[in-house]
Amino acid sequence: MATKIRLQRFGKKGKPFFHVVVADSRAPRDGKFIERLGSYNPNTNPATIEINFEKTLAWVNKGAEPTDTARAILSYKGVLYKKHLEGGVKKGALTQEQADEKFTAWLDAKAGKISGKSEGLATSKADARKTALAAEAKKKEDRAAAIAAKNAPVAEEEVTEEAPAVEAEATEEAPAAETKEEGAE
């Protein structure tokens, strides 16, 4: 019997959620399966992948063939890289300690990339929130200015009645200043 590692779809329309399972290749997509290995949720950013590493590695070593998407998931989690390193150990190209060291270095680098992406998403989200808040504050100020301008004509009429008296005083002082300047020449 040919076994495949594949995804079994769950979730509602537009919000898929998948179980990673080992199933007979002749079984329907969401039908009978041999063993559940983990889950995959593409709705989160970055995608959430939970896999039982040891069980999955055992099934890959037994000959279970992953589908294209399952292969990408297993590669992302390092199952296929671990199988590759184990093959090198069996051939004598590496010792078990070297293979373990390479794998832990790979896992650390992968964790760094994932955390960097998560931090980048968080900072971009915070920046977007700051710009939205600044735009909202500007809009609020514009509205307040518009309301003040709308209510201002009543206040301006009172000010304009007082303004001619001030202007008349200024015009009376101006000719006197001009005559002083002419006399100085």
Kindly report, residue by residue over 19-77, the tens digit of the pLDDT.
Answer: 999 999 888 888 889 999 999 999 988 889 999 999 999 999 999 999 999 999 999 99
CB 35 within 8 A of CB 103: no
CATH fold of 3-94, please?
A: S16 Ribosomal Protein; Chain: A; (3.30.1320)
d(CA 134, CA 144): 15
Kindly report, residue by residue over 69-119, the tens digit of the pLDDT.
Answer: 999 999 999 999 999 998 998 888 888 899 989 999 988 888 888 888 888
Q: What is the pLDDT of residue 36?
A: 94
Map residue 37 onto helix, strand or coil: strand
Name all contacts of 84-93 with Cβ < 8 Å and 24+ positions apart: 86/61
Kindly report, residue by residue over 146-179, the tens digit of the pLDDT.
Answer: 888 888 765 445 555 555 555 555 555 555 555 5
Q: What is the pLDDT of residue 54?
A: 93
What is the model's pTM? 0.62
Q: What is the pLDDT of residue 111?
A: 85
Residue extents of the structural domains in the chain: 3-94, 95-163
Q: What is the pLDDT of residue 76?
A: 92
Q: What is the pLDDT of residue 35?
A: 92
Which ranges constitute the DSSP H helices of the chain?
A: 53-62, 68-77, 79-91, 96-184
Kindly report, residue by residue over 129-146, the tens digit of the pLDDT.
Answer: 899 898 998 999 998 888
Q: What is the pLDDT of residue 146?
A: 87
Task: From residue 68, give the alpha-carbon distance in Å to each of 5, 73, 84, 86, 164.
Answer: 10, 9, 18, 22, 86
> Is the predicted pLDDT of residue 184 greater than 90, yes or no?
no
Task: From residue 134, give the alpha-carbon distance in Å to each of 89, 98, 128, 130, 171.
Answer: 59, 54, 10, 6, 46
